[in-house]
Amino acid sequence: MELKWQVLNILSDGRFHSGQKLAEQLGISRSAVWKIIHGWQASGMPVDAVTGRGYRLREAFVPYTLKRLQTACSSVHWHFFEAVDSTNSFLLRNAPKQGMSVCLTEEQSQGRGRRGRTWNSTPGYSLTFSFAEWTSKPVSELAWLPLIAGVAVSTALIGLGFENIGIKWPNDIVIKTDDGQWRKLAGMLMEVSGGLEGDVLWVLGIGLNVGLHALKNIEAEYPCGTLALQKPDAACLRHEILLAIIQSWQHWVNLFWREGPSRIKRAWEQFDVLAEQPVVVRTSENIYHGHAMGLDDFGRLVINTNGERRVLTAADVSIRAHP
């Protein structure tokens, strides 16, 4: 593990640590400690430096422990990196043919979101991971997987005691804050690799804001929220949150493969924050207004625009609630 990550993990308890003790613990000079601290501060991490007391993080978090995850969920192939180019890209390159794989990281250098956007994550305060599996299922059915993931994440968070969780089509998890506004909590990106005749590898990446400082490095088109607004110690619960999401995903996706999309559709619509709401739809060619009317039987969003029924696929539009 690089020294900078060792320093961050020591500071993760939120307590003060003197430069001298950090230097002794890591076998480096105090000057080297200072350079590492300065680097974290420059990147936006909330590190305080107080004369006579040392260094601390203003918001504590619990570093990931791969063994803990493997013990809790041994059926999954786990991969953890402090830093990686992209969790999606790693699994596209390396996912084994058998079983589900999860790639988890603190930091991505080439993280990407939907529609070519950059995907930023804040070490310690974000939950950034991808999961993947090879399948022989028809490619047409894979369009439901991001919708299933939305249901899985939402139900997992509700099960952990979080409230006012919703889904904004096609791939955003949102949280309602005290001002009554829905704010983006998580985003998803699905990618598929493989031929039309052979097995297909699907990869689904999720970025979830957990700690208060997860919002510091986000450049978003609209307001974002974080789980710490409801539970201030949320950054200390990342293992529990991740495992709950994986367990929830396994439940819902297995239900989908057994029974088809009907129950998924009903569950998704319980979280739909756009239902019957006025929306603005932006395609590559037009901007028009209408009302969101839920999903059709293929997981596409139905919009009523002046009495005309329009069916939208995720790749077609950018959609926002009408102000």
Please state whether the peptide bond connecting residue 261 to the residue before it is cis, i.e. omega within 30 degrees of 0.
Answer: no
* Sign of the CA dihedral with 319 first, then 244, 120, and 46 last: positive
Structural domains in the chain plus CATH codes: 3-57 (1.10.10.10), 66-270 (3.30.930.10), 278-321 (2.30.30.100)
Q: Are 320 and 222 in contact (CB under 8 A)?
A: yes
SS (H, E, C) 25-36: HHCCCHHHHHHH
- Name the pTM for this structure: 0.91
pLDDT, averaged across the chain = 89
Instruction: Determine the pLDDT at residue 280.
Output: 85
pLDDT digits (tens, 9 = 90+) for 114-154: 555 566 788 999 999 999 999 988 888 898 999 999 999 99
Residues near 127 by Cβ (< 8 Å), separated by ≥ 6?
Answer: 206, 207, 208, 210, 238, 241, 242
Q: What is the helix, strand, coil percentage profile of the chain, to 5?
A: 35, 30, 35
pLDDT digits (tens, 9 = 90+) for 199-257: 899 999 999 999 988 876 555 566 889 999 999 999 999 999 999 999 999 999 999 99
Residue whose tokens read 């058998």: 98
